[in-house]
Amino acid sequence: MARPGRVVIAGAVTGLVLVAFGRSYQATTKSAGSVVPESIDIPSIEVEAPLMKLGLSKDGEVELPPYEKPKMAGWYTGSAVPGDKGASVIIGHVDTKTAPAVFFKLRQVRKGEIVKVERSDGKVVKYKVDSVEQVSKDHFPAKRVYIEDGLKLVTCGGKFDYAKGEYVDNIIVYASRA
């Protein structure tokens, strides 16, 4: 768990990466129209969770779901709607100060397993996990997460740095349409 108010380090570089690759926040959300992802289902780790919209904070970092709602994940509105072309990014906490959160078991997901996202238009989009990686927050693969096609699920992981009040790594699941 990170300190309240602290966001995934990837958010700090999101705006820079999108600008560097010729994409803007407005362009990515415009294509989404009124369709949004509403829930995520990862049967292999018994996750069924509602999704909320996550934007960018005033300082340009990706917002996180509130700690008061540990069983909720969030879809980054600057990414593609799951099922549409482009990178779709869903973020959730690994834990809180007192209990596991929505993505507590995310590191246990394996290649080939299915992730389902239900959208507001009634479609259920299925993805097959391609890989799972644990990376230092200092070396977060922003281009791969925020630009390359496919679904990305992101949470914290690795060792907890008590001095900083946060995990030192991110767990990232990469998946493509099934």
Domain assignments of the chain as residue spans, ordered by start? 10-177
**Among residues of the chain, what percentage have pLDDT more than 70?**
81
State pTM to two decimals: 0.85
Residue type, 72: M
Joined tokens for residue 125: 């989009």
**Rounded CA separation 158/172 (Å):** 12
**Among residues of the chain, what percentage have pLDDT more than 90?**
79
Confidence of residue 28 (pLDDT cuts 50, 70, 90): very low
Is 60 exceeded by the pLDDT of residue 20? no
Residue type, 77: T
Is 70 exceeded by the pLDDT of residue 17? no
> What CATH number belongs to 10-177?
2.40.260.10
Mean pLDDT of 74-81: 98
**Rounded CA separation 170/137 (Å):** 6
- Average confidence score pLDDT of the chain: 87
